[in-house]
Amino acid sequence: MDETRTVRVAAAQFAVGQDRKANLAACLRMIDAAAEQGAMLVVLPEFCNHLSWYDDREQALAAACRAGDDFLAPVAERSARHGMYVKIHVTLASGDGPPGTERVTAASLLYGPDGALAGAADKQVLMGSENDHLTPAGEPGPVLGTALGPVGLYSCMEGVVPEVCRGLALRGAHVLLNSLNSFALDEAALHIPVRAAENRVWVVAANKVGPLLPADRVGAISAAMGVPAEALDGTGESQIVAPDGTVVAKASRHGEAVVTADIRPGVAADKIRADGTDVFAARRPALYRPIASRPVPAPAFAGARAERVDAAVVRPSGSGRAAVEDAARLAGEAARRGAALIVLPELFWYPGGVLPDPRAPDTEHARTVLDTLRGALAGSTAYLACTLPLPAGHAGVLLDRDGPVLTQRQLHDGARHRGWARAGEAAALLTHDTPWGRVAVVLADDAVQPETLRLAALAGVDTAAVCLGGAAEPWEYTLGLPERAAENRINLVAAGHEGGAVHALPVEFGLWRSREAPFDGTISTPATTAAGPGLTLAPVRPRQAGRRLVSRGTDLVDGRPWRLADALVTPRPAGPRTDGATHPRTPATEGAL
């Protein structure tokens, strides 16, 4: 695809109620508005036909759309009139089974410039009460060939977990279209843009404004739940995001709006990071099989996870011997101040964490570094995480005052350590049980892959030490690490040459009834303490990792769409689409493992 070709796309936000005709009129009005602005495609919010609020499954069935009915036919006609793509989301009755027993799904529908249905995708991950009234998808959504390039469809909760967007991108999608029905501030600030950046694709996302519950019942519901009425409104902030995570257009939190941007879909074929690593080719599908397998309990933790312990990010100054001495000094201070876990940047004594001569790693010096750091822990119960060039390759090491307790080989290849890290030989993500929680050490080239921290969550890790190098892209600090903590319910203590942070799991998590304090608009965003140069101390909460229900019936980890995650564990892009065409193979996926 021509990477220079530009197309205009739009995201429309508006309110939806229980009046079907009024909802249709709003949809058509926003399609017209996008067309007037020259958009080739417009994305509409989730559940455009009716509020996502039903007394029972029968009411949900009665309100659902059917193919070609008086709600969808006018949308198709308007799409053809303007010669544009329209992505709409509705509840959809399957049409099979005796009357009153049909299956109802939450469906993303894409109409083409000719008014024909170009493709559809049922929602895979349902949120809260949606589980009571709707049926989840039985197959993954297709990647659709369009005039914009290959496109994937998803909605709302499917973007709060990583698997759906990851699968679409791996199967060749360059533009992802997201319809939302959300009152969470996390969506616009974190979940929407991170899916663009981690997959290096465009995302066009449309959310609602106005009450997401029946207007005549908002007051009573607000009082019963102890939630401010305004917190029950859609949070808007519909947006268009570039493959590097930059939000190129965004609406306000309130009010009807159409936002547009001119995008170049073809640039999403490029999966090369700033350091030269092809992030899709570096994936290790065989390692990810637990993600696409039926959930099983993690190995039992013998002790009791602590409610709170202190963690430390150490970013020493200088390089060489001076950096080692400064790191030991700061680590010793952190241990004396009660830090349970201390984390250093990747290969911290080399500028940018890169060996000066990768052909001859100085493993003998690495032993000296290790002994110096171990000495800094004398008399304490602290653990320290760093990375070292070892004879077997690049590894993360977790040590206490007696020496190493865990040695984690790098799992994914990266351009900075090419030729000596030997990541392809590493077989698994390892964990270690401390008196206060279960810990993993994650290296920089592993942290950029969302599957790594997912594996940690499945292994029962509550706190991960992340050692970052000097080539981390900006989105990794601002979006990637907070999202890994949020979607996996893991505390992250991240140290890098250019930054770092402690991302602690919040005590107030999820929706209404799981909270002691009133809902503040955030559902899963971690409490972040940014780390400057030197020593930064902040608490983490290991016990909170056991809380994964973001809403009734919706588990952030075990509720992942594991049955539909074959793309994550398939060495090459998935095969033909249902229309007989072949998924495009980008240069990034052509040479994957």
CATH of the domain at 37: 3.60.110.10
CB 544 within 8 A of CB 509: yes
**Same domain membership, residue 247 and residue 323:** no
**What are the tokens at 403?**
């020496």
- Residue 43 clears pLDDT 50, i.e. is over it: yes
Q: Is the pLDDT of residue 102 over 90?
A: no
**Terminal-residue alpha carbon distance, the chain:** 23
Is-contact 389 467, C-beta < 8 A?
Answer: no
| Residues 223 and 330 placed together within one structural domain of the fold | no
Quick one: pLDDT at residue 1? 59
* Residue 329: per-residue pLDDT: 98
Strands 202-206 and 175-179, by their bridges, are: parallel
Task: Classify 367 as helix, strand or coil.
Answer: helix
* Same structural domain, 348 and 219: no
Most confident range, picked from 53-67, 408-422, 483-497, 512-526? 483-497
| Together in a domain, 253 and 348 | no
Predicted confidence (pLDDT) at residue 446 exceeds the cutoff of 50:
yes
- Examine the domain organization and report whether 340 and 236 are in the same domain: no
Same domain, 322 and 240: no
Query: Given pLDDT bands bounded at 50, 70 and 90, which one contains residue 97?
Result: low
* Whether residue 264 sits in one domain with residue 409: no
Give the domain extent around 512.
306-547
Whether 279 maps to a domain, the answer reads no
Do residues 241 and 114 both lie within one domain? yes
**Does residue 266 fall inside a structural domain?**
yes
- Produce one character per residue of 447-472: b if its CB has 16 or more CB atoms within 10 Å, e if not: bbbbbbbbbbbbbbbbbbbbbbbbbb
Average pLDDT value for residue range 30-37: 98
pLDDT at 230 over 90: no
Indicate the residue among 509, 524, 547 that finishes a domain.
Answer: 547
Domain check: are 42 and 144 in the same one?
A: yes
> Taking phi first (over 0 means left), then psi (-120 to 50 degrees means alpha), and beta for anything else, what does residue 465 get?
beta
Q: Give percent above pLDDT 70 in the chain.
A: 94
Q: What is the mean pLDDT of residues 189-203?
A: 98
pLDDT value, residue 218: 85
Last residue in a domain, options 225, 250, 270 = 270
24, burial (CB in 10 Å: exposed 0-12, middle 13-18, buried 19+) = middle
pLDDT at 578 over 80: no
Q: Nearest CA to 568 among 296, 289, 200?
A: 289
Give domain status of residue 154, yes or no: yes
Contacts of 179 (CB under 8 A, 6+ apart): 43, 44, 45, 46, 48, 87, 88, 89, 108, 155, 156, 205, 206
Residues 468 and 346 in one domain: yes
Q: Taking all residues of the chain, what is their mean pLDDT, rounded to a whole number?
A: 92
pLDDT given at position 590: 23
The whole-number pLDDT of residue 514 equals: 60
Length of the chain: 593
Residue 593, token pair as written in the block:
């493992």
What is the spatial distance between Cα 263 and Cα 9, in angstroms, rounded to a whole number? 7
Q: Is residue 579 part of a domain?
A: no
Domain assignment present for 320? yes
Whether residues 311 and 234 share a domain: the answer is no
Q: What is the pLDDT at residue 422?
A: 87
Distance of CA 253 to the CA centre of its chain: 22
Phi, psi at residue 459, to the nearest 5°? -85, 5
Please give the pLDDT value at position 515. Answer: 65
574 located within any domain: no
pLDDT tens column, 489-515: 999 999 999 999 999 999 888 775 566
Helices (H) and strands (E) in the chain, counts: 16, 28
Task: Classify residue 565: in a domain, yes or no.
Answer: no
- Give the least confident one: 88-102, 186-200, 273-287: 88-102
- Return the pLDDT at 586: 30
- Percentage of residues in the chain having pLDDT higher than 90: 81
129 and 202 in a single domain? The answer is yes
Q: How many domains does the chain have?
A: 2
pLDDT of residue 207: 98
Band the pLDDT of 583: cuts 50, 70, 90: very low
The arithmetic mean of pLDDT across residues 515-540, rounded, is 89
Final residue of a structural domain among 528, 547, 566? 547
Q: Quote the Cα angle for 255-79-91, to 5°.
A: 65
Q: Which pLDDT score, from 0 to 100, does residue 96 have?
A: 66
Mean pLDDT within 340-363: 91
Average pLDDT over residues 75-99: 91
Element at 369 (helix H, strand E): helix 363-376
Best CA proximity match to 446, nearest among 288, 240, 298, 245:
288
Max intra-chain CA distance, the chain: 77
CA distances from 462 to 338, 495, 524 (A): 19, 17, 15
- What is the C-alpha separation between 292 and 114, in angstroms, rounded? 37
Mean pLDDT in residue range 55-80: 95
Burial of 371 per CB tally in 10 Å (0-12, 13-18, 19+): exposed
Average pLDDT over residues 419-437: 92
Average pLDDT over residues 355-377: 90
User: What gap in Å lies between CA 577 and CA 140, rounded to an integer?
Assistant: 11
Q: Is residue 340 part of a domain?
A: yes
Task: State residue 427's pLDDT score.
Answer: 87
